[in-house]
Amino acid sequence: MRLSTKGRYAVTAMMDLAIHETKGPVTLADISDCQDISLSYLEQLFSKLRRKNLVRGVRGPGGGYQLARPATEITIAAIIAAVDEKVDSTCSEGKEPCGQDQECLTHELWCGLSRQIYSFLDSITLAAFLSRPSVQAVIRRQERDHHRPGIPPVTVA
Amino acid sequence: MRLSTKGRYAVTAMMDLAIHETKGPVTLADISDCQDISLSYLEQLFSKLRRKNLVRGVRGPGGGYQLARPATEITIAAIIAAVDEKVDSTCSEGKEPCGQDQECLTHELWCGLSRQIYSFLDSITLAAFLSRPSVQAVIRRQERDHHRPGIPPVTVA
DNA sequence: CTAATACTTGACTAAATTGCTCGGTTTATC
DNA sequence: GATAAACCGAGCAATTTAGTCAAGTATTAG
């Protein structure tokens, strides 16, 4: 499990999709404009997200991206893992049979911690996060003030 | 809050210190050997850890590093933050007054999540982690099998 | 059909980060 | 004073991040 700006981009973009879920697909160009990320970079990230079945692309005019599954079934951990896609040689899948015992010790300790972090992030779904009152407040405030009017609040099933 | 191999090195090294707390200081050379990290890189990391008052260096022969505070008062978040020391321009301390509203939205959403991750890692102290039964089992197994004999199990106050 | 829209792919690049080598300086112990 | 360790800093190679550019392919409105 790693956390970097890459993961942040992916997560915020997915939040964007979730927020506008009820309207049609969201184009990468929109996200690129709003969040100030280059289009091509987004394309790379979404290519990975699509391969992991987290988003679905809709081609042709009026197309864009949608969540491939309900927001209740997409966890933060899944999003981050999708774009990081480390073979995770650090944990599980030991490369060498662990020569030094000491190395093995700290290795195992870190893995324990790593698993804990992962399951924490895996316990947070997009829907759950977006339905938090403080988050909803932010979303509504933004909605009232600006373009893309009339977007209904995210309704979590 | 970022998570990378750098943070992993720092955390595992701190675990090492905590485990051998009752014996004297641990030298970086020891850690370097055991965990297969270069000495100079460790020095850089420990320089940061020392500046954040997480470890104390003991110079001269027989010297090394010790925890500067009891393991019960050192959290995983503190360790990672010490070595990453991002000015964290992403969160808090807004750089620009946030031109686009949309940008501001996702920005705030991410910050909410980021805070959650941080407080999670901040809730785990070195002592708490090392006292977990599964972790103790790993430590004891390693102890029985190998060098540095007779190291007593970590006792959490 | 045609053209516009939008996704897809790949090659390539600049900047940042990671991890390391090397050389030195202090400080404390024997 | 020799030695073992922490400290310090410049600099470098490899990797990752983030991005550009260019040439596609698929879909659908008209």
Residues A127-153 pLDDT 10s: 999 888 878 887 787 666 654 433 344
Distance CA B110, CA A1 (A): 17
Taking the CB of residue B63, how many other CB atoms lie within 10 A of it?
Answer: 13
The residue to which tokens 């003991």 are assigned: B58
pTM of structure: 0.82
* Residues A109, B142: C-beta atoms closer than 8 Å: no
Instruction: Scan residues 67-86 of A and list those with Cβ closer than 8 Å to B.
Output: 76
Q: pLDDT digit string (tens) for B16-42?
A: 999 988 888 999 999 998 888 899 999
CB A101 within 8 A of CB B142: yes
pLDDT class of B91 with cuts at 50, 70, 90: low
Residue among B6, B88, B91, B92 nearest B49 (CA): B6
Q: Which of A2, A4, A109 sits opposite B135 (nearest CB)?
A: A109
CB A43 within 8 A of CB A4: no
Any atom of strand D under 7 A from CB of A150? no
CB-CB neighbors (< 8 A) of A36 in chain B: 100, 103
The residue to which tokens 């959403």 are assigned: B109
pLDDT value at position A57? 85
Residue among B56, B110, B54, B111 nearest B83 (CA): B54
Is A98 an interface residue toward B (CB < 8 Å)?
Answer: no
Q: How far is the CA of B126 from the C1' of D24 (A)?
A: 53
Mutation target to probe the A interface, by most A beta carbons within 10 A, among B1, B3, B16, B96 is B3
Residue A157 has pLDDT above 50, yes or no: no
Which residue ranges form the domains of chain B, and what is each CATH number? 5-86+126-145 (1.10.10.10)
